[in-house]
Amino acid sequence: MSYREQWDSDSGFILAALGSAVGLGNVWRFSYLAGENGGAAFLVVYLVCVAAIGLPLMLAELAIGRTAQLEATGAFARLGGAPRWRLAGVPSVIGAFIVLAYYPVIAGWALRFFVEYLAGGPGTLSGEAAERHFLAFIGSATPMFWQASIVLASLLIVRGGVGHGIEAANRFLMPLLALLLCTLAAYTLSLPGSWAGVSFVFAPDWSALGEPGVWLAALGQAFFSLSLAMGALLIYGSYVPSSRRLPLPALAIAIGDTVFSMVAGLMIFPAVFAFGLDPASGPTLAFITMPRVFAQMPGGIAVGAAFFGLLVVAAITSTISLLEVIAAFLMENLGMTRPRASLLASVAGFLAGVPAALSFGVLAQVRLWGLGVLDAMDRFVSNLLLPLNGILIALFVGWIWHAAEARRESGLRPRLAACWHWSIRWLAPCLIALILLHSLGLLGAAG
């Protein structure tokens, strides 16, 4: 067998996986979903989803990769003991590819705002002006340029390989990210009037718990934010040496990602409330509402630069994991070299993302399920493909992978391993199915 790359250190692996998990999902997506779905109540449902479904599945995905030492499709084939199981890895690769297409578009918006704030800020963006500014930008063709810049930056990292590219980049970028986040949160919490935002994040309105839509949104967010069911953790797990145990890294990644989202909420909502703006403004929260906040805030231009810089860094460490899924697929199945595979994956991802980049401009008329292209891609992946693929992965690990081997490879002590195996076999698939069916209105007595 040919030589396969590995992480240079345990901490490098954890940082890289955390880098994959922490991304636009924690800041842009989490904050607008929480804003729309009842604030703290959403957080409670989200925590339940992470603990009951996300964590067991994360361990499962890491264990598949670490045991097989192969990319997604090859890994399922090896553990299933037959080539036909390769198919079980296909949804992961497809999911990664779709996200790889539209994710750099949003990251590109952040990059453009970052550059604009560095250059002195977009002027006074209070009221309508902030909205016009953003809509004019996404309505043009320039988002493609910024999208391409994000893809290019990710390509340069992934080309460098597992240790010298991905691990080295995360080692530098993750501490930077933590520093930016803490500084920003401390600053916005010090603003007068900000505590209404804190109680919005921490004081639940329990009636939201009865709404199936809130559960589906939280479940989709848990998958998206933890980078589950897209082959990303699987491929990162496959670079972990067989001698290493996975439970603690999995726990660290899940907790780290969740804490990051909560602190991001503590950075965004206090600022939103301090200036009397609407927390439930949807996907544009980060790009319209926040610039309004910065326009009114002392030192707003520097804060704006830091905020969008944070988004860019967080997005790049995630994009590289998506790119790696596709690149590894090409390397291991078509025998391509890393430079070629990463280039091909980047170009294909970029092209597939162009319709998303133009979906607020020339393609604004194109609607899928009543949504624009970018929103439709995001919704389709998070609320349908990922949960379904989550069921598939759970059933595979629970029923197809040899039980004794799966438990051993989980690295848990026998009792805990049995609990984990049970939850992967029964609890996770049933819960996911329940939430999916419920939200589709296929279960009676909904809401």
Between 322 and 377, name the residue whose CB sits nearer to ligand PHE. Answer: 322
Q: Which stretch binds ligand PHE (CB under 6 A): 23-31, 41-49, 82-90, 359-367?
A: 23-31
Q: Which listed residue (13, 16, 17, 25) binds ligand PHE by CB under 6 A?
A: 25
Between 108 and 122, name the residue whose CB sits nearer to ligand PHE. Answer: 108
**DSSP code per residue over 205-264:** -GGGGG-HHHHHHHHHHHHHHTTTTSSHHHHHHTTS-TT---HHHHHHHHHHHHHHHHHH
Under the binding rule (CB under 6 A), the answer on residue 157 touching ligand PHE is no
Q: Which listed residue (72, 77, 185, 232) binds ligand PHE by CB under 6 A?
A: 232
Under the binding rule (CB under 6 A), the answer on residue 147 touching ligand PHE is no
Between 177 and 293, name the residue whose CB sits nearer to ligand PHE. Answer: 177
Q: Which listed residue (227, 342, 383, 439) binds ligand PHE by CB under 6 A?
A: 227
Under the binding rule (CB under 6 A), the answer on residue 21 touching ligand PHE is yes
The nearest distance, CB 225 to ligand PHE, in angstroms, is 4
Q: Which listed residue (92, 321, 359, 439) binds ligand PHE by CB under 6 A?
A: 321
Under the binding rule (CB under 6 A), the answer on residue 24 touching ligand PHE is yes
The nearest distance, CB 405 to ligand PHE, in angstroms, is 26
Q: Which listed residue (20, 154, 238, 410) binds ligand PHE by CB under 6 A?
A: 20
Angle, alpha carbons 283-286-289 (nearest 5°): 100
Q: Residue 392 is encoded by which pair of tokens?
A: 């598939």
The DSSP symbol for 173 reads H
- Using CB atoms within 10 Å of the CB of residue 47, give its burial: 0 to 12 exposed, 13 to 18 middle, 19+ buried: middle
The nearest distance, CB 21 to ligand PHE, in angstroms, is 5
- Number of residues lying near ligand PHE (CB under 6 A): 15
Phi and psi torsions of 249, nearest 5°: -55, -45
Angle, alpha carbons 142-147-153 (nearest 5°): 135
The nearest distance, CB 234 to ligand PHE, in angstroms, is 10
Between 289 and 321, name the residue whose CB sits nearer to ligand PHE. Answer: 321
The DSSP symbol for 85 reads G
Q: Which listed residue (12, 23, 279, 291) binds ligand PHE by CB under 6 A?
A: 23
Q: 349, 100 in Cβ contact below 8 A?
A: yes
Q: Which stretch binds ligand PHE (CB under 6 A): 124-132, 135-143, 155-163, 314-322?
A: 314-322
CA–CA separation, 265 and 250 (whole Å)? 23
CA–CA separation, 349 and 343 (whole Å)? 10
The nearest distance, CB 64 to ligand PHE, in angstroms, is 15
Q: Which listed residue (6, 225, 238, 439) binds ligand PHE by CB under 6 A?
A: 225
Under the binding rule (CB under 6 A), the answer on residue 322 touching ligand PHE is yes
Q: Which stretch binds ligand PHE (CB under 6 A): 221-229, 236-244, 304-312, 435-443?
A: 221-229
Q: 214, 295 in Cβ contact below 8 A?
A: no
The nearest distance, CB 146 to ligand PHE, in angstroms, is 17
Q: Residue 30 is encoded by which pair of tokens?
A: 């989490």
The nearest distance, CB 58 to ligand PHE, in angstroms, is 11
CA–CA separation, 36 and 32 (whole Å)? 6
Between 99 and 331, name the residue whose CB sits nearer to ligand PHE. Answer: 99
Q: Residue 26 is encoded by which pair of tokens?
A: 């924690």
Q: Which listed residue (42, 109, 224, 275) binds ligand PHE by CB under 6 A?
A: 224
**DSSP code per residue over 324-372:** HHHHHHHHHHH---HHHHHHHHHHHHHHHHHHHHTTTTTTTT--BTTB-
Under the binding rule (CB under 6 A), the answer on residue 250 touching ligand PHE is no
Binding to ligand PHE in span 58-97, by CB under 6 A: none
Query: Taking Cα atoms as reference points, which of 232, 257, 243, 254 lies closest to residue 62?
Result: 232
CA–CA separation, 150 and 247 (whole Å)? 32
Angle, alpha carbons 193-199-204 (nearest 5°): 155
Q: Residue 206 is encoded by which pair of tokens?
A: 């329990």
Under the binding rule (CB under 6 A), the answer on residue 264 touching ligand PHE is no
CA–CA separation, 19 and 7 (whole Å)? 14
- Using CB atoms within 10 Å of the CB of residue 414, give its burial: 0 to 12 exposed, 13 to 18 middle, 19+ buried: exposed
| Residues near ligand PHE (CB under 6 A) | 20-21, 23-26, 99, 224-225, 227, 230, 232, 318, 321-322
